[in-house]
């Protein structure tokens, strides 16, 4: 083989570079400080958690995408005591290694639905895994709300879950949170969860004060499910004074009579019976379905659902309208132009998880 | 620790001269807005016709309805919490769900009637209940006497119908309002006084705060939570299990109702006091509480000797083990049936009550004696009367409670059990009973 001629002094040649970039490394670098703040740092957890996040990013069973919530904690007895009406199903036990987290996901993820979440208990020499749930009705506060949203440092807990189709959030009882994006682009703008929260506040703006919190929680759970689904959506809130649908929102499926969520919540709070609970859960599924269809879902500020699959025509002339964005974004732009007049607020969620809100939050 | 310090004073009595011994003398002291001229005429007419029981029932119903109407202005949820009655739904009519005895207890606790007024009304109530349950043949033989009927009329006029308006004590109102309008400083005089108060006031404070936390929102909720965060840890060591379970149950209910802010606040308090052992694990205890409440309602209502067997049987057949959160109330229910009242017991309900009590282990008997009995005024008040005290002595012997009570930490309840062995010598036990009621904050009056 002929030796390569040496290049003259000063001349540069780009040698082929072979670099390996791993998202696993990025996650591993971000986690130690986070775990330390949450009081759950050790090397086994760090390694296992990094691998869990990567596994969860696109977890499928039988081709079906799954979005389980995973809790990690040390003191299961105290944790369960803070969760009224809770249940725990132990599934397995394994060494304190990343493989155990993987096995836990494999065995538990298909079961983690209808209110069940995966838990991983850090024991002295092992990881125990299984499922837990809590609450009595569709209105009961969830394990994530009690352990993380209103968590306490004295009960160190981590929650790993999808906040949108391409985003996983690791949050702790100490209030720290780490967001990991797996999408094609890093999402700009406000946190989609906060955006959805603002929209939910707008939906319940005129709900009687005594029911506002519960109806707001109901919608918040519906929207957090929609955020994870990977389907974009458009929704608006009509002012309560609007008894009939404004003309521009009549090209769709009008629900008559409107779905009165506040009445259903009130019925459950008063009766606390199985029938009211089933009705409310079934209604949540219905609204999730509506939000997953094309077009705009129309709510009113008294918490009711008025229409879905509504198509709107942009008030702008075709020439003036920007070519930027798809049909959904352009429709959102049209909706924004009506905020303050016929409508109280508008919500946009793109397929890649970007969310926007326009209007008054309360 | 002074047990004379009180947070709120009960209303005084309407002045009815001691020399007033007939309805004609007493009734003019009734307020015309509470008892019309026509009502008075009818009562006097009934007396003149020797229908003493009818007249007593009539005036009692007038008085107790007026009392319940006034209490209902405080709100159903508040009343339910003050009575620790989770079975009362928020939309319930208090006139229908509140027993007469509950109304009397509550009136005393809120300072709507004085302790003397309470005692007289309770005696009048017992009298009416007794004569109301006699079978026709018995009723013909043992009629209510004129003196007994006059006693009922006097108690009703003095305590309720003679008042312009039955209202809760001003001090109580202020205390309640302050608990929701501002957050007390730990050195505030109200907090210092509460710390030094008899148990009854501490229990009432817990119940008021829980009612406020469950029903308020916004700034009022924040204030109530702030005060609970100060007061509950301060008095937690002294709180007995029934009150601790009430706080635990409140947390469970708030979580089930999806009240985020309230749940977060109560959770912080429970973490602070390490009180999560008092949160019910499931709904089972609630079913027991409702069943026990039905027994108590039957026992304290009219025709109790006929109405007690059904609910007592239901409670006895529920399960062999009573869940811990419901245990104190189930014991109160079973003991109420077993001890009966000043007039006797319901024979048909005894086997059910005994079957509940027989399943109580010595450890649980000790738990009840040491941690519940001293604040169980329903049972303590029964022991003031001779007949229930004699039956109490029988119970002590049947279940060998003297041996059980040897391990009790509370000196007074231990002594009460020991001194109740011999029903023919009740003096010492009555002294201890008096001391226990005083510790609770209720003066014993004969």
- HEC letters along chain B: CCCCCCCCCCCCCCCCCCCCCCHHHHHHHCCCCCCCHHHHHHHHHHHHCCCHHHHHHHHHHHHHHHHHHHHHCCCHHHHHHHCCCCCCCCCCCHHHHCCHHHHHHHHHHCCCCCHHHHHHHHHHHHHHHHHHCCCHHHHHHCCCCHHHHHHHHHHHHHHHHCCCCCCCCHHHHHHHHHHHHCCCCCCCHHHHHHHHCCHHHHHHHHHHHHHHHHHCCHHHHHHHHHHHHHHHHHHHHHCCHHHHHHHHHHHHHHHHCCCHHHHHHHHHHHHHHCCHHHCCCCCHHHHHHHHHHHHHHHHHCCCHHHHCHHHHHHHHCCCCCCCHHHHHHHHHHHHHHHHCECCECCHHHHHHHHHHHHCCCHHHHHHHHHHCHHHCHHHHHHCCCHHHHHHHHHHHHHCCHHHHHCCCCCHHHHHHHHHCCCCCCCHHHHHHHHHHHHHHCCCCCC
Left, alpha or beta for B186 (phi > 0: left; psi -120 to 50: alpha)?
A: alpha
B297 and B421 in a single domain? The answer is yes
Report pLDDT digits (tens) over B263-321: 999 999 999 999 999 999 877 888 999 999 999 999 988 888 889 999 999 999 997 78
Distance, in Å, from the CA atom of B290 to the CA atom of B408, rounded to the nearest integer, reads 29
Helix (H, G, I), strand (E, B) or coil at A65: strand
Report pLDDT digits (tens) over B79-100: 888 888 878 877 788 888 888 8
Q: A149 — contact with chain B (CB < 8 Å)? A: yes
User: For the whole model, what pTM was predicted?
Assistant: 0.84
C-beta atoms of A139 and B256 within 8 A: yes
User: Could you tell me the residue range of the domain that residue B131 belongs to?
Assistant: 23-161
C-beta atoms of B217 and A210 within 8 A: yes
Helix (H, G, I), strand (E, B) or coil at A17: coil
Whether A217 and A261 have beta carbons less than 8 Å apart is answered as: no
- State the average pLDDT over residues A119-138: 94
Confidence band for A361, pLDDT divided at 50, 70 and 90: low
Confidence band for B444, pLDDT divided at 50, 70 and 90: very low
Identify from B255, B259, B269, B272 which residue to disrupt to test chain A contact, counting A C-beta atoms within 10 A and taking the largest count.
B255
For residue A141, list chain B residues with Cβ-Cβ distance below 8 A: 255, 258-260, 263
How many other C-beta atoms lie within 10 A of the C-beta of residue B72?
A: 16
- State the average pLDDT over residues A301-324: 76
Distance, in Å, from the CA atom of B199 to the CA atom of A65, rounded to the nearest integer, reads 58
B194 and B150 in a single domain? The answer is no
Residue in the block written with tokens 């959904």: A328
Output the pLDDT for position B173.
75
Q: What is the average pLDDT value for chain B, to the nearest integer?
A: 88
C-beta atoms of A81 and B279 within 8 A: yes
The C-alpha angle with vertex B366 and arms to B360 and B372, in degrees rounded to 5, equals: 95
For residue B280, list chain A residues with Cβ-Cβ distance below 8 A: 84
First to last CA, chain B: 25
Whether A53 and A170 have beta carbons less than 8 Å apart is answered as: yes
Distance, in Å, from the CA atom of B444 to the CA atom of A152, rounded to the nearest integer, reads 46
Task: Indicate if the pLDDT at residue B10 is higher than 60.
Answer: no
Residues 6+ away with beta carbon under 8 Å from B407 = B366, B370
Report pLDDT digits (tens) over B219-248: 999 999 999 999 999 999 999 999 999 999
Q: Which of A70-79, A267-276, B143-152 has the highest mean pLDDT?
A: A70-79
Output the pLDDT for position A1.
47
- Indicate whether B76 belongs to any domain: yes
C-beta atoms of B258 and A217 within 8 A: yes
Distance, in Å, from the CA atom of A330 to the CA atom of B229, rounded to the nearest integer, reads 51
Residue bearing the bigger pLDDT, B85 or B419: B419
- Indicate whether B4 belongs to any domain: no
Task: Indicate if the pLDDT at residue B262 is higher than 90.
Answer: yes
Output the pLDDT for position A75.
93
For residue B276, list chain A residues with Cβ-Cβ distance below 8 A: 78, 81-82
Q: Which of A5-14, A319-328, B185-194 has the highest mean pLDDT?
A: B185-194
Whether B250 and A130 have beta carbons less than 8 Å apart is answered as: no
B415 and B327 in a single domain? The answer is yes
- Indicate whether B229 belongs to any domain: yes
CATH 3.40.50.1970, domain A192-359, yes or no: no
Q: A273 — contact with chain B (CB < 8 Å)? A: no
- Indicate whether B18 belongs to any domain: no
Domain count within chain B: 3
Alpha-carbon B400 to chain mean position: 28
- A213 vs B252, B259, B280: nearest CB: B259
B339 and B425 in a single domain? The answer is yes
- B258 vs A84, A85, A139: nearest CB: A139
Rounded CA Rg of chain B: 22
ipTM of the complex in this document: 0.84
Using omega within 30 degrees of 0 as the cis cutoff, is the peptide bond preceding A257 cis?
Answer: yes
Distance, in Å, from the CA atom of A27 to the CA atom of A29, rounded to the nearest integer, reads 5
Nearest to A211 by CA among A261, A258, A145, A165: A261
Nearest to A261 by CA among A245, A244, A276: A276
Task: Indicate if the pLDDT at residue B3 is higher than 60.
Answer: no
- Indicate whether B5 belongs to any domain: no
Confidence band for B4, pLDDT divided at 50, 70 and 90: very low
Q: Pairing mode, if any, of strands A126-133 and A70-73?
A: unpaired
The residue out of B232, B253, B278 marking a domain boundary is B278
Left, alpha or beta for B304 (phi > 0: left; psi -120 to 50: alpha)?
A: alpha
Task: Indicate if the pLDDT at residue A4 is higher than 80.
Answer: no
Confidence band for A322, pLDDT divided at 50, 70 and 90: low
- A139 vs B257, B264, B277: nearest CB: B257
Q: A78 — contact with chain B (CB < 8 Å)? A: yes
B436 and B290 in a single domain? The answer is yes
Report how many Cβ contacts below 8 Å link chain A to chain B.
Answer: 72
Output the pLDDT for position A345.
94
Q: Is the dihedral of CA B276, B277, B281, B286 positive or negative?
A: negative
Confidence band for A12, pLDDT divided at 50, 70 and 90: low
Helix (H, G, I), strand (E, B) or coil at A177: strand
Alpha-carbon A317 to chain mean position: 36
Confidence band for B446, pLDDT divided at 50, 70 and 90: very low
Q: B153 — contact with chain A (CB < 8 Å)? A: no
Distance from CA of B123 to the nearest CA of A (A): 37
C-beta atoms of A84 and B268 within 8 A: no
Distance from CA of B283 to the nearest CA of A (A): 8
B357 and B264 in a single domain? The answer is no
Task: Indicate if the pLDDT at residue B367 is higher than 90.
Answer: yes
The CATH 3.40.1700.10 portion of chain A extends over: 192-359
For residue A211, list chain B residues with Cβ-Cβ distance below 8 A: none
Task: Indicate if the pLDDT at residue B138 is higher than 80.
Answer: no
- Indicate whether B145 belongs to any domain: yes
Q: Is the dihedral of CA B176, B177, B182, B185 positive or negative?
A: negative
B112 and B31 in a single domain? The answer is yes
Output the pLDDT for position B298.
93
Task: Indicate if the pLDDT at residue A100 is higher than 80.
Answer: yes
- A209 vs B217, B252, B259: nearest CB: B217
Architecture of domain A23-181: 3-Layer(aba) Sandwich (3.40)
Q: Which of A94-103, A325-334, B34-43, B326-335 has the lowest mean pLDDT?
A: A325-334
Output the pLDDT for position A136.
87
B288 and B436 in a single domain? The answer is yes
Q: A81 — contact with chain B (CB < 8 Å)? A: yes
The residue out of B236, B253, B278 marking a domain boundary is B278
Order of all β-strands in the sheet with A117-122: A87-95, A126-133, A117-122, A70-73, A157-164, A167-172, A177-181
Nearest to B166 by CA among B260, B34, B256, B359: B34
B156 and B224 in a single domain? The answer is no
Confidence band for B6, pLDDT divided at 50, 70 and 90: very low
Check residue A227 and report its DSSP letter.
H
The C-alpha angle with vertex B161 and arms to B81 and B147, in degrees rounded to 5, equals: 110
The residue out of B161, B189, B207 marking a domain boundary is B161
Q: Is the dihedral of CA A44, A90, A119, B282 positive or negative?
A: negative
- Indicate whether B290 belongs to any domain: yes
Task: Indicate if the pLDDT at residue B326 is higher than 90.
Answer: yes
B262 and B148 in a single domain? The answer is no
- Indicate whether B446 belongs to any domain: no
């Amino acid at each position: 083989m002929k030796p390569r001629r040496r290049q003259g002094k000063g001349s540069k040649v780009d040698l082929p570079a072979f670099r390996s970039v791993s998202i696993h490394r990025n996650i591993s670098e971000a986690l130690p400080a986070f775990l330390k703040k949450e009081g759950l740092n050790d090397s086994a957890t760090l390694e296992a958690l990094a691998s869990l996040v990567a596994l969860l990013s696109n977890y499928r069973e039988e081709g079906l995408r799954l979005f389980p919530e995973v809790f990690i904690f040390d003191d299961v007895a105290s944790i369960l005591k803070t969760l009224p009406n809770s249940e725990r199903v132990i599934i397995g036990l394994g060494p304190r290694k990343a493989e155990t987290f993987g096995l836990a996901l494999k065995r538990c993820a298909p079961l983690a639905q209808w209110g069940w979440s995966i838990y991983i208990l850090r024991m002295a020499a092992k990881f125990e895994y299984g499922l837990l749930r809590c609450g009595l009705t569709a209105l009961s506060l969830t394990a994530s709300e009690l352990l993380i949203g209103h968590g306490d440092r004295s009960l160190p807990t981590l929650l790993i879950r999808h906040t949108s189709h391409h985003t996983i959030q690791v949050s702790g009882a100490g209030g720290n949170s780490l967001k990991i994006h797996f999408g094609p682009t890093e999402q700009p703008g406000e946190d989609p969860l906060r955006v959805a929260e603002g929209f939910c506040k707008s939906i319940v703006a005129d709900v009687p004060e005594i029911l506002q919190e519960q109806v707001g929680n109901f919608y918040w759970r519906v929207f957090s499910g929609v955020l994870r689904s990977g389907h974009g959506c458009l929704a608006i809130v009509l002012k309560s004074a609007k008894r009939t649908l404004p003309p521009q929102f009549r090209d769709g499926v009008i629900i008559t009579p409107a779905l009165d969520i506040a009445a259903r919540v009130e019925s459950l709070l008063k009766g606390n019976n199985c029938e009211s609970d089933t009705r409310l859960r079934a209604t949540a599924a219905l609204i999730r379905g509506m939000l997953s269809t094309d077009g705009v879902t129309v709510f009113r500020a008294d918490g009711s659902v008025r229409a879905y699959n509504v198509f709107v025509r942009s008030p702008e002339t075709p020439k003036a309208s920007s070519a930027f964005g798809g049909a959904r974004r352009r429709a959102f732009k049209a909706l924004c132009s009506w905020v303050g007049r016929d409508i109280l607020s508008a919500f946009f969620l793109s397929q890649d998880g970007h969310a926007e809100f326009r209007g008054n939050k309360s | 620790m002074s047990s004379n310090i009180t947070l709120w004073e009960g209303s005084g009595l309407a002045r009815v001269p001691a020399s007033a011994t007939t309805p004609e003398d007493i009734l003019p002291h009734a307020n015309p807005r509470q008892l019309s001229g026509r009502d008075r005429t009818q009562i006097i007419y009934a007396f003149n016709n020797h229908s003493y029981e009818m007249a007593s029932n009539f005036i009692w119903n007038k008085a107790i309805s007026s009392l319940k109407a006034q209490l209902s202005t405080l709100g159903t949820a508040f009343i339910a919490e003050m009575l620790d009655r989770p079975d009362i739904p928020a939309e319930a009519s208090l006139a229908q769900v509140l027993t007469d005895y509950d109304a009397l207890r509550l009136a005393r606790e809120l300072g709507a009637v004085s302790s003397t007024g309470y005692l007289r009304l309770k005696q009048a109530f017992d009298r009416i209940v007794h004569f109301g349950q006699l079978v026709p043949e018995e009723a013909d033989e043992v009629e209510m006497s004129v003196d007994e009927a006059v006693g009922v009329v006097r108690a009703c006029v003095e305590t309720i119908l003679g008042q312009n308006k039955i209202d809760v004590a001003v001090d109580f109102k202020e205390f309640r309002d302050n608990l929701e309008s501002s957050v007390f400083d730990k050195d505030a005089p109200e907090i210092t006084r509460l710390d030094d108060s008899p148990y009854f006031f501490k229990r009432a404070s817990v119940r008021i705060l829980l009612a406020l936390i469950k029903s308020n929102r916004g700034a009022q909720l924040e204030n109530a939570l702030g005060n609970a965060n100060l007061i509950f840890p301060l008095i937690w060591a002294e709180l007995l299990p029934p009150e601790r379970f009430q706080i635990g149950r409140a947390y469970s209910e708030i979580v089930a109702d999806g009240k985020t802010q309230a749940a977060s606040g109560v959770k912080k308090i429970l973490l602070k006091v390490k009180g999560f052992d008092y949160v019910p694990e499931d709904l089972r205890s609630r079913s027991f509480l409702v069943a026990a409440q039905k027994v108590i309602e039957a026992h304290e209502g009219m025709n109790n000797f006929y109405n007690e067997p059904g609910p007592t049987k239901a409670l006895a057949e529920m399960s062999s083990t009573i869940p811990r959160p419901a245990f104190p109330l189930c014991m109160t229910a079973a003991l109420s049936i077993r001890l009966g009242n000043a007039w006797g017991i319901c024979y048909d309900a005894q086997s059910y009550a005994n079957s509940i009590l027989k399943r109580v282990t010595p450890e649980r008997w000790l738990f009840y004696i040491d941690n519940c009995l001293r604040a169980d005024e329903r049972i303590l008040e029964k022991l003031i009367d001779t007949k229930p005290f004699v039956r109490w002595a029988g119970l002590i012997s049947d279940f060998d409670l003297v041996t059980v009570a040897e391990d009790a930490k509370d000196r007074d309840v231990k002594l009460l059990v020991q001194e109740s062995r011999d029903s023919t010598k009740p003096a010492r036990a009555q002294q201890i009973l008096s001391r226990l009621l005083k510790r609770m904050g209720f003066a014993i009056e004969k």
